[in-house]
Amino acid sequence: MKNLAEVVRQGVILLDSDSHEMDDVLLDVVEQCVKQELVPASLQERVLEQLRNREALDSTAIGHGVAIPHAYVEGDLHSVVAFVRLKHPIDVRAIDDEPARFLFILIGHTGQVDDHLDMLASIAVAISDNELRFDLLEAETENQIVQAFDRFMQSQRSGIESTAGEFSDELNYTGRPFGGIILDVRRRLPHLASDLTDGLHLKSLTAIVFLYFACLAPAVLFGGLMYEATGGHIGAAEMLVATAGCGIVFALFAGQPLIILGGTGPLLIFTGILYQLCQKLQINFLQTYAWVGLWTAAFTALLGATDASCLIRFFTRFTDEIFAALISLIFIVEAVSRIVGYVNDAHAEELAHDVAFLSLIMAMGTFITAMMLSRFRKSRYLVPQIREFLSDFGPTMAVALMLLFGMLFPDVKPSALKVPDTFGTSSGRPWAISIFDAPIWVWFGAIGPAVLATVLVYLDQNITARLVNSHDHRLQKGSGYHLDLTVVGVLIGCCSIIGLPWLVAATVRSLNHVRALATVEDRITPGGDRRDEIVHVRENRITGFMVHLLIGISLLMLSQLQSVPEAALYGLFLYMGIVSIVGNQLFERAGLWIMDPALYPRTHYTRKVPMQTIHQFTLLQVSCLIVLWIVKVSAAAILFPLFIALLVPGRLLASRFFAAEHLEALDAEQLPEEEESEWI
């Protein structure tokens, strides 16, 4: 492979060319080559004519927004490569419909055709690297352009690829106490400075504002549900305190700061069942809850110290997709039920019709506006910078617009967020729990429920971490499974002794955090379908820290929060649930059941696996999803974590009924290389 860094350094670099036509770009490049004495002035017109003729003959686009115009002329002419980054992408009739943002213009004499073919192949391989394209787009100087190519060439020479989402190295069993934690710390420590500097960007600001509402709404909602499930012992106040405190600590000390901690449906169910058990046994709930939490914290920290997260390597895309689908559906169903509840309450005369109608408009308005603005990146209108801004700020702007819309009707008072009037516990109890006042048998009897809670925390945390660290997200700084699990264990222990809810990695909020920080390109697959592709994520600690700091500050403004209509946040809830299913192949394959067979997308699995096998595999996953949902809402909900764990042997059992090559395609951890480079 040609050394592109050296070739580009010796050639011509034009950044943010303001030309709108290819002909103008070619003219600028040739004039610059003559000015730098890379092309003799006597050959200027001939080179320009050859470049124009080649462009008129056929498109020189190779996909990924890249075109390679080239010209070969007789004469004393050395090989020249000019790199051009266009300020306004130009339509070059590319096979993937991507307008050209980058141009590599090759100039040489007729005897250098073979060398230029080698150069073209090197450029095609390099430009398919998402991280390189991102670096080229972000570079502000010519030297940074050369450095971007140099980093790529170094990675090629050392055999290092951008595979932070793969788990082979990070989930190797060390066999030493705290071995995995030590490796996690060593892996993340070199990135500590960049974890701070990478957060100083406009995209981080949009993520902070969006995630503030995205985390505040579930905290208040789950706090309200927790209040009902625990007889008023734990409510919204405790949930907000736990969300703020645990979120700040996790953002500062976790191995993967993109993970957002929060209350989850499974933990809510478990806590409710524990409360009912305490009622039957006539024992103090908060004292029992504290002992169960302390044992859970000890077991969780022990799992982190003994590299138990290595077992997560037995979980595959099969289990990830089912778990992610379940959590997304919980969000969607909860949001829809709340929104439909406005209509039902109006029919039952429990809610004024104008209040119900305004609430419905605000909820659906938030959802629809957020969806429309988030897709504005693909629009043909306005300039790219404004489209990117509207897309990033879309969810936040949707909430703000609906809040302003509600102010147009001052006499209509929709239901506001249910937060306490003043800072304090929900029941008025002291924050600290006198755990030693519990009967001694409770101290040790709590071990049984703690084992089940530990399994739930372990699965919730690690499966969400797998989803966040997915290869599709192109993360570069590595993960921290063992360290994160240990930090979560310590936080659960701290929360338990002051009666706060236990928090773990929240799937939907974490995935929305990643997408909020992602630079996304609109890709047209070889089959003609459009899909979003993440090319870079700004991995940092600033966004998570600031989001939870703002939630903590909100505890000082509870009266202001009481004026925020909950309907707008339910619309945001629905948006988060819908967006989090993007990229989940389970939903994509389920859609094939009702799709015209002639219009099936051309993906790696539809090309390699018989359609009947695809439908059978999807049916198996959907059946597992239905079973999990039934268990979640049944009297056996306390066994929910065990059923999640059973997905692993279920996947192993599937290998007896599906061919190995078919399972490899359907259950692939990442997009096969041949699909990513099929345009080239």
The neighbour count for residue 174, using CB atoms within 10 Å, is 15
DSSP state for residue 500 in the 8-state scheme:
P
CA torsion sign for 82, 83, 87, 89 is positive
Query: Greatest CA span in the chain, whole angstroms?
Result: 98
Choose the catalytic residue: 20, 64, 70, 482.
Answer: 70
β-pair partners for 289:
none
Give the residue carrying structure tokens 């670096």: 135
Dist. CA 81–CA 122, nearest whole Å: 12
473: CB partners within 8 A, 6+ apart: 165, 514, 518, 534, 537
In 450-553, beta strands by DSSP E: 504-505, 518-524, 530-537
**CB atoms < 10 A from the CB of 131, how many?**
17
CA 64 centroid distance within chain? 22
What residues does 273 pair with on adjacent strands? none
Q: How many residues does the chain have?
A: 680
The torsion angles phi and psi of 219, rounded to 5 degrees, stand at -60, -45
Q: Residue 369: name the closest of 207, 572, 533, 200 by CA.
A: 572
Q: How far is CA 414 from the centre of its chain?
A: 32
Task: Write phi, then psi, for 238 (nearest 5 degrees).
Answer: -65, -40
DSSP string, 61-73: EEETTEE--EEEE
Q: Residue 73 pairs with which residues in a beta bridge? A: 109
Q: Helix, strand, coil shares of the chain as percentages rounded to 5?
A: 65, 10, 30
State the DSSP string of 387-418: HHHHHHHHHHHHHHHHHHHHHT-TT--PPBP-
- Long-range contacts (CB closer than 8 Å, 24 or more residues apart) made by 160-163: 162/129, 162/130, 162/131, 162/474, 162/476, 163/471, 163/670
CB atoms within 10 A of CB 358: 23
Cβ neighbours of 672 (radius 10 Å): 16
Q: What is the DSSP string of 292-353?
A: HHHHHHHHHHHHHHTTGGGGGGG--HHHHHHHHHHHHHHHHHHHHHHHHHHHHHHHTTSS-H
CA–CA separation, 162 vs 166, rounded Å? 9
CA distance 562 to 170: 45
Taking phi over 0 as left and psi of -120 to 50 as alpha, with beta for the rest, 662 belongs to alpha
SS3 91: coil
353 annotated active-site: no
Contact present, 351 and 345 (Cβ < 8 Å) = yes
- What crossing angle do the helices spanning 265-281 and 447-468 adopt, rounded to 10°? 170
Asked if residue 153 lies in contact with residue 4, where contact means CB atoms within 8 angstroms, the answer is: yes
Task: Give the torsion sign (CA, 640, 646, 648, 650).
Answer: negative
DSSP state of 375: T
3-state SS class at 105: strand
Question: Which residues are designated catalytic?
Answer: 70
